[in-house]
Chain A
């Protein structure tokens, strides 16, 4: 019954994206096209990032955590932010509000990420005879990643699209965005530098994603208040 297991893992990995789209007003405003374009931008960004990584990074044979290499990786992580900036500002959207725009972009972004990074291993691995918890954890990771992407998109829209925001909040917004953008490096450090196991890392990711989501939600609300 391994196809069954594959099906389960696929639901866990890709289900939340679909649920998010259909449950929120995104579906009512027909923002699917925006999401798709964000996904395309993600693909291009991933390609650029990959080329950069391949050019500047040594292939390390050891599993150790190399601070210099990780720093480079974190720097390249900001290519993602650039891609997101492009998706949020340069893509001409139809008449949709900023609220829906960042959600649509974040959703498309996360979905493309999941398809790219998780579909192939899932297809290859989860159908095998051997049972491991890995693919279930991987699905949970995809959930955390969805929350991260939407949070980052929300923070991005605050940074680049909203003009009149409270001055005191600006550093907080930038700090949060910085943390979210370096999240892959942080988890990589936990996994390799501290030797955490997968369940612990995924637990941390889930927890921090909820925390970041809460903070960015509060920031968003706080920024909306003066305009009202």
Chain B
């Protein structure tokens, strides 16, 4: 015991003052800029058939600059607030493949997925800004950028740094190693390939009522939504509209039918299959694998499938996308059912026909995967045209603010009602099964809470583990509403390769120039010399001081 104390005690005097100094540091925060730390999100890095796209580096360690016109840009990180961004300039810069030390885009705070409840003034500026961000995103995703590109959200700290950097730049003193300024540092290892990314499909089964002695199989109606996302910054890709809204609609429809099917009297003579599929942005790869895993009997029993896609900001038009000719009997049946319900709630349904090109790998809509297997299917979406690859899949602008609850509720009503009328053969009879204020009404708070949850969770499939909390939550939710839930893990097709390190922490250091240190050395040297002279003069007299300087030559004289 005593020994122990004796050993510890001599250490203490060193750490005790250290703590006090830390304390001093904290008390003086407002006077000195301490290290600023910000969360940053890296631009996605991926390959399509070994062709590189996105930001190819993660490590950042350079001085900060604020414009693309400075000198020595290959050794500085340009901080660009998206509000003031000149898109043409950056397009040109990236197009020409000029080298930078790094890029840091500052997004306005209301783009942050964490600010679900923050009220945003939806004014023209905001729409302009969203267009700008989408355009920037498209540019960045399809470029091969040989330096690190990060996104961060504006806050007071980083704005203060930016203001300071701008002031330095304006005064004609760009920050380099010799003039000081701010140094930006993201410590990250080299991005590594994600080996065999998994995609997870979740399936829920609600069996219909089979009459006794009836040996024929019941027909099945499938309701499908793809839940994963893809965006410029995977850590920020929440995709509230594409396809968070579809997932919410699916969950709510499952909830409504689970109420109906829980009672044998109201259980329909159709099986219901709910599918939450992954791999949506990558040509609906997950859907394809999910459908292939079906056994023959199930596949044959599918009457039709409805895919839900982007339902969060309807105008007053819904689009039904199909691959079979519009004259097809089954298609007409779905379309009639939907449009008659939609008209009651003041929505118009447009029929959009797009043929599948079997030789092309591009699958623009989820129903096309069904159509390729000759199953009747259609996609309901607010989008009027098929999106390009990796578009409308959860971009930076696609957050909670771009989705309205009412729109999701409306589409839930239309889809659920038309499916229910088909199941119970109530078409054209004017019955309203999911009427408002009844026990079967759509629950707005359920829709809201799921929208909020999905709007705060990024869901880029390669970065979701097999047991990701979100997947578990979706599985549990489906299990609550259906009788049989199964999860299917598949590997994403080899054409897409992804790289890790999608987010990090940016440390901002204030550094001084070498010139400052040199000057300081000069001042300290003269201080010590003055002190020396002063002390010699006061304690020994001026003559002594002078003799100090005379001594060396006199010695030389003696030596010679």
Contacts and interface: CB of A to CB of B under 8 A. Distances in A.
Given A134-B24, A197-B31, A198-B31, A19 B539 contact: no
A52 B14 CA distance: 16
Contacts of A19: 528, 531-532, 535
A4 B23 contact: no
B528 A50 contact: no
B17 A117 contact: yes
Given A120-B17, A121-B17, A16 B517 contact: no
A221 to B, nearest CB: 12
A1 B514 CA distance: 6
A140 to B, nearest CB: 10
A25 B539 contact: yes
Interface in B507-546: 509-512, 514, 517, 520-521, 524-525, 527-528, 531-533, 535-536, 539-540
B21 A24 contact: no
A12 interface: yes
Interface stretch (B5-13, B146-154, B333-341, B369-377): B5-13
Given A19-B531, A121-B21, A132-B32, A8 B520 contact: yes
Contacts of B183: 129
B543 to A, nearest CB: 14
B27 interface: yes
A20 interface: yes
B165 to A, nearest CB: 15
A116 interface: yes
A50 B180 CA distance: 41
B549 interface: no
Interface residues of B, number: 42
A125 interface: yes
A197 B27 CA distance: 8
Contact of A23 (B15, B16, B535): B535
Given A19-B531, A20-B535, A198-B24, A47 B520 contact: no
A120 B11 CA distance: 11
Contacts of B32: 132-134
Given A16-B531, A121-B21, A50 B13 contact: yes
B9 A47 contact: yes
A5 interface: yes
A218 to B, nearest CB: 14
A54 B470 CA distance: 50
Given A12-B524, A19-B532, A136-B520, A129 B185 contact: yes
Contacts of B10: 47
Contacts of B31: 197-199
Contact of A5 (B9, B25, B512, B532): B512
Contacts, number: 109
Interface residues of A, number: 43
B452 to A, nearest CB: 37
Interface string A13-46: 0011001101111000000000000000001001
Contact of B18 (A120, A128, A131): A120
A65 B9 CA distance: 27
B386 interface: no
Contacts of A192: 27
A80 B44 CA distance: 62
A75 interface: no
Contacts of B511: 129-131
A163 B84 CA distance: 79
A50 to B, nearest CB: 6
Given A133-B32, A197-B28, A23 B23 contact: no
Query: Which of A19, A43, A63, A117 has the most chain B CB within a 10 Å cutoff?
Result: A19
A23 B531 contact: yes
Contacts of B21: 121, 125, 134, 138
A130 B509 CA distance: 5
Nearest to B24: A198
Contacts of B533: 23
Given A129-B511, A198-B31, A23 B539 contact: yes
Nearest to B520: A8
B28 A198 contact: yes
Contacts of B13: 43, 46-47, 50, 116-117
Given A130-B35, A131-B510, A197-B31, A22 B17 contact: no
Given A8-B524, A19-B531, A25-B539, A51 B9 contact: yes
Contacts of A191: 24, 27
Contact of A15 (B14, B510, B512, B524): B524
A22 B528 CA distance: 12
A190 to B, nearest CB: 12
Nearest to A132: B32
Contacts of B441: none
A130 B28 contact: no
A25 B540 contact: yes
Contacts of A121: 17-18, 21
B120 interface: no
Nearest to A8: B520
Interface string B298-341: 00000000000000000000000000000000000000000000
Given A1-B517, A4-B514, A11-B524, A134 B17 contact: no
Nearest to B519: A8
A118 B514 contact: no
Contacts of B27: 63, 191-192, 197-198
Nearest to B36: A130
Contacts of A15: 524, 528
A55 to B, nearest CB: 12
A23 B536 contact: yes
Interface in B162-218: 180, 183, 185
Nearest to A119: B14
A175 to B, nearest CB: 25
A166 B535 CA distance: 28
A114 to B, nearest CB: 11
Query: Which of B28, B180, B183 has the most chain A CB within a 10 Å cutoff?
Result: B28
A11 B522 CA distance: 11
B160 interface: no
A8 B531 CA distance: 17
A11 B12 CA distance: 25
Given A5-B520, A47-B9, 7 more contacts: A4-B514, A46-B13, A63-B26, A120-B17, A121-B18, A121-B21, A130-B35
16 contacts: A4-B517, A11-B521, A23-B535, A24-B535, A43-B13, A63-B23, A116-B14, A118-B17, A120-B15, A131-B512, A134-B25, A191-B27, A192-B27, A197-B27, A197-B31, A198-B27
- Pick the 5 closest A-B CB pairs, nearest first: A23-B535, A117-B17, A129-B509, A131-B512, A130-B509
